[in-house]
């Protein structure tokens, strides 16, 4: 594919995630009326070309994330549910199937069906690392999925779900990263006191705001025909979240 055509496809995809809730056809119609593009592809043509550009999309996200890592030393980790359908429609869902996708959203005290996105955000709000799992996976699986490729002497804050003493020691010894989760009430760690936990809570508060800002860009329902297409649109929303910091 010519680089110019590839750039146009990625441009349309980013605009769709920024302003049209991920609806690429609507974005193309609007951009063609404004003469930003000369040709409008069919839905299948656009999707095939976009799928071939997934590696380029990943490279672009990685580049923006590397800039955020270089400019920050304080980060926070959390997860966010990605329901693919309402609970009443689970039996008819075609995107995913199986009990592994039945998750629980503790903040809203409700069950959902779909994926989880595990992410690390910088103190300025940019997302520096993320990955997806089925909804039933515990938050601690992020230790296995995420690379924690952060600057030396960085600090990562987490909530009570991320209490894992072995992983804390590994990050400190192998990467020089201080992992600071809010301690559980039954923890016997020396740093389990009210003041320290309160400071950790304040330090990680931005990740909740970052997730809220990201979710606000999603439509009420992320339309997709395949699971890969669903996750690709989520990556597009994360990319658009990055780009907003430059405008």
pLDDT number for residue 4: 57
Please tell me the distance from the alpha carbon of residue 107 to that of residue 150, in angstroms, as a whole number.
28
Could you report the average pLDDT of every consecutive run of 10 residues in the chain (247 residues)? 72 93 91 86 90 92 94 95 92 92 90 95 95 94 93 94 92 94 87 91 94 89 90 94 86
pLDDT number for residue 26: 92
Residues 6+ apart with CB under 8 A from 196: 183
pLDDT number for residue 2: 47
pLDDT number for residue 25: 92
Sign of CA dihedral 232, 226, 143, 216: positive
pLDDT number for residue 228: 93
Please tell me the distance from the alpha carbon of residue 58 to that of residue 81, in angstroms, as a whole number.
21
Please tell me the distance from the alpha carbon of residue 177 to that of residue 150, in angstroms, as a whole number.
8
Chain length of the chain: 247
Beta carbons of 12 and 24 less than 8 angstroms apart: yes
pLDDT number for residue 6: 84
């Amino acid at each position: 594919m010519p680089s110019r055509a590839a750039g146009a496809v990625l441009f349309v995809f980013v605009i769709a995630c920024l302003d049209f809730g991920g609806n690429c056809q609507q974005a193309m119609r609007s951009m063609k009326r404004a003469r930003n593009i000369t040709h409008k592809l069919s839905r299948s043509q656009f999707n095939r070309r976009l799928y071939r550009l997934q590696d380029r999309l990943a490279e672009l996200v990685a580049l923006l994330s590397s800039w955020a890592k270089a400019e920050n030393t304080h980060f926070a980790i959390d997860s966010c549910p990605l329901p693919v359908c309402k609970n009443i429609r689970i039996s008819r869902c075609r995107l995913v199937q199986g009990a592994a996708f039945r998750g629980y959203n503790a903040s809203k005290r409700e069950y959902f069906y779909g994926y989880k996105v595990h992410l690390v955000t910088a103190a300025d709000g940019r997302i520096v690392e993320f990955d997806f799992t089925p909804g039933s996976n515990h938050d601690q699986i992020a230790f296995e999925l995420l690379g924690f490729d952060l600057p030396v002497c960085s600090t990562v804050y987490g909530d009570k779900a991320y209490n894992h003493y072995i992983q804390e020691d590994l990050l400190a010894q192998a990467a020089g990263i201080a992992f600071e989760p809010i301690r559980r009430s039954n923890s016997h760690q020396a740093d389990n006191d009210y003041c320290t936990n309160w400071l950790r809570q304040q330090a990680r508060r931005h990740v909740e705001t970052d997730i809220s800002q990201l979710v606000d860009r999603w439509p009420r329902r992320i339309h997709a025909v395949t699971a890969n297409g669903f996750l690709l649109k989520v990556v597009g929303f994360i990319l658009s979240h990055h780009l907003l910091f430059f405008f």
